[in-house]
Amino acid sequence: MTVSEGRREIPPAANLNSIKLSRLRMAATALAALAAGGRSRLAETKTFFVGALEALRRRVFSGDGWSNAKFEEPRSEISTFLVSCRRIFWALALFSGLSNLLMLNGSFFMLQVYDRVLPGHSVPTLVALLVLATMLYLLQGGLDLVRNRISVRIGRYLDERLGLRVYDALVRLPLKTRGDGDGLQPLRDLDQVRSFLSSGGPTALFDLPWMPIYLAICFLFHFWIGVTALAGGVVLVGLTVLTDARTRGPAKASSRHAVLRNALAAEGRRNAEVLQAMGMRRQAALRWQDVNQKYLAAHETSSDIASGLGSVSKTFRSLLQSLVLSVGAYLVINQEATAGIIIASSILTARALAPVEIAIANWKGFIAARQSSERLDHLLKLLPRQEEPLALPQPTGALAVENLYVAAPGSEKPLLSNVSFSMQSGEAVGVIGPSGAGKSTLARALVGVWPHVRGKIKLDNAVLEHWSSESLGRHIGYLPQDIELFDGSIALNIARLDLARFDANATAAAILDAAKAAGVHDLILSLPDGYHTRVGEGGMALSSGQRQRIGLARAFYGNPFLVVLDEPTSNLDSEGEEALTEAILSVRRRGGIAVVVSHRPKALEGVSHVLVVSDGNVQSFGPREEVLTRVLHPAVPLRVVAEGKGGAQWKAN
Ligand SMILES: Nc1ncnc2c1ncn2[C@@H]1O[C@H](COP(=O)(O)OP(=O)(O)OP(=O)(O)O)[C@@H](O)[C@H]1O
Ligand SMILES: [Mg+2]
């Protein structure tokens, strides 16, 4: 049977005409009803639609359309972000809707060519149709372009809104929990979510609601064409759900192993010298390889499952095209449809199933983005945004520690128990004790780095928690035991990364003062670029002693009230030690308080008090001479055992 024969038997596009007619009829009825109802009815309808739309909007974008009991938990920051983008999502949905309508263009064009142009041999109709179709294609192309651009910008907006927050959480995380992996996972997670939002992934979501509409049109063409398309859709959705269920476990395992693998690689880089000098490279490589194998195995499993099911669905999609054509051909043979309708419906079926195909194509990205956003949510909930406490006046009087218990991040076991002591302005305390006694733990608690489980640390009667880290930081100078500098110039490091805090002259003067206080000014001037010398990553371009003295200058920058120095003399020569004593005395003279942790008695020359820590407890606290005499007494568990480079060293009995 030829096309024209088929057309002769059945009026052209009969079904299509009936659709148009029935729609027109419906619209006319609705209009008539509205007109008859009058203005009040119109207002009622409007209110109803506005209400329904608002409820739908809330339901889709914020989830608060359901009973509130379900959402009592505070909304995560990522959902808050998504809610804040709701207008953009509405716009995207609108664009998707228009674009989906325009996608019918191809099918209808083909239908008209087969059913009108060919039988009528009408070239002018063909040209008119082609011009119209071209215009619609161009419009659709433009819409898609705008839609993609909006998607990319949503990704960027996410980064702008959450980037700083995630970086802040990333830096605070090691102070809250035991480190896990290389610690950079949150940034990778943010990248993952952003690239998913920027890619076509979420747009596929807006295409999904169009699937039933296309299917309905398939049904209107012919019942059996609709049934075939629907069955195809069900199989494809089933395959997608199956892919999700089967790949979830392996995908999680692979990302867990990836984190471990990166951590091992970073550790190897950090310890390059040790690995080389003691021939440990091979062993380190084997350790890394072990984790890498596990990562590869998990990755392979998840990719195998995804690609296996992916190729099943691809084969099925090709088959489905031919199935629809076959059903159409069968109907034409039985004179139930026109040839135009089978081709148009074959295109339409492909369109109806396109969202599922796009969803399958984006599935891996979607799973990864979902896992990343769950991890980010967890992180951001663990480290909520810090409220900026009321600004407190500069501390000038005293430091008091009351019944302090301190535990390491992520642990409950106190490393320091029941520590109490107090200092007045102008005093300095030397903290001594054997290795592992808890001296550094005390130093970290005093500067608010490690949270204390019990007890109080007060500056002028205000407990540390009443200060924000930024405002407290201005009154604190801290030299950690393992000094790392930031990549940049020496001046930038001493000025605590903020060369623009005061006006340039004041900053320069403060940097010079700090450098002089730490006795490092001449040393800096002897370097090739003076204060502009770049220190390299972590301060690699400097010697340990130079690093320590620049770290000291950083601690003294801005004349902070409380200066806490953890082993400030461990890398210093005798000249450096003398400079340190002078620096401690100058802190005392200007009314500050200094806490100096040291193994070396020489470092304690400038202090007024001594605190002896042993096994996490305070053994002794009092004026320097008094405590030192007691410590040097044989009955006390600490004694001088050796003369080191910088003088005698403290050691436990
Ligand atoms: N991050 C950590 N997590 C868990 N325990 C820790 C951590 N850091 C230190 N500790 C434990 O806390 C105890 C005290 O450590 P701390 O660093 O305060 O000792 P220290 O007195 O400063 O020793 P040193 O003189 O060697 O510097 C040690 O037993 C150590 O094992
Ligand atoms: Mg220590």
Q: Output the CA angle 313-315-321, nearest 5 degrees.
A: 100
Question: What integer pLDDT is reported at residue 66 of this predicted model?
Answer: 40
Closest CA to 551 of 587, 576, 529, 582: 576
Domain residue ranges in the chain:
3-21+56-63+71-382, 396-475+562-574+593-653, 479-559
**pLDDT tens profile 532-545:** 999 988 778 888 88
Instruction: Report whether pLDDT(557) > 90.
Output: yes
Instruction: Report whether pLDDT(304) > 80.
Output: yes
Query: Mutation test of ligand 1: which of 417, 441, 444, 446 has the most ligand atoms closer than 8 Å to its C-beta?
Result: 441
Strand 617-623 versus strand 428-432 pairing type: unpaired
Quick one: which atom of ligand 1 is closest to the CA of 616?
14
Q: Give the Å distance between the CA of 408 and the centre of ligand 1.
A: 9
User: Residue 333: is it exposed, middle or buried by C-beta count within 10 angstroms (0-12/13-18/19+)?
Assistant: exposed
Q: Residue 137 is encoded by which pair of tokens?
A: 């294609």
Q: Is 257 in the pocket of ligand 1 (CB under 6 A)?
A: no
Question: What integer pLDDT is reported at residue 90 of this predicted model?
Answer: 86
CA dist 441 and 595 (Å) reads: 13
Q: Residue 297 is encoded by which pair of tokens?
A: 């195995």
Q: Whose CA is nearest to atom 17 of ligand 1?
A: 440
Mean pLDDT of the chain: 81
**pLDDT tens profile 211-265:** 888 888 888 888 888 899 899 888 988 888 888 888 888 888 988 898 889 889 9
Between 166-180, 198-212, 638-652, the lowest mean confidence (pLDDT) is in: 638-652
Quick one: which atom of ligand 1 is closest to the CA of 567?
27
Q: Between residues 30 and 359, which one has the greater pLDDT? A: 359
How far CA 612 is from CA of 442, 478, 623, 624, in Å, comes to: 12, 20, 12, 11
CA dist 355 and 335 (Å) reads: 32
Question: What integer pLDDT is reported at residue 461 of this predicted model?
Answer: 84
User: Residue 148: is it exposed, middle or buried by C-beta count within 10 angstroms (0-12/13-18/19+)?
Assistant: middle
Q: Is 415 in the pocket of ligand 1 (CB under 6 A)?
A: yes
Percent of the chain with pLDDT over 90: 29
Residue pair 233/352 in contact by the 8 Å Cβ criterion:
yes
Q: Is 617 in the pocket of ligand 1 (CB under 6 A)?
A: no
Residues 364, 368, 374, 377, CA torsion sign: negative
Question: What is the b/e burial string over 161-194, where b = at least 16 CB atoms within 10 angstroms of the residue's CB?
Answer: bbeebbeebbebbeeeeeeebbbebbebbbebbb
Question: What integer pLDDT is reported at residue 7 of this predicted model?
Answer: 39
Tell me the fold of 479-559: Rossmann fold (3.40.50)
User: Residue 293 CB: number of other CB atoms within 10 A?
Assistant: 12
**pLDDT tens profile 437-465:** 999 999 999 998 888 888 999 999 888 88
396-475+562-574+593-653 belongs to which CATH class?
alpha beta
Strands (DSSP E) found in 438-545: 452-459, 462-463, 476-479
CA dist 146 and 99 (Å) reads: 11
Percent of the chain with pLDDT over 70: 84
Q: Is 435 in the pocket of ligand 1 (CB under 6 A)?
A: yes
Q: Give the Å distance between the CA of 485 and the centre of ligand 1.
A: 22
Q: Residue 255 is encoded by which pair of tokens?
A: 């990302």
3-21+56-63+71-382 belongs to which CATH class?
mainly alpha
Instruction: Report whether pLDDT(616) > 80.
Output: yes
Are both 396-475+562-574+593-653 and 479-559 of the same fold? Answer: yes
How is residue 60 annotated by DSSP? H
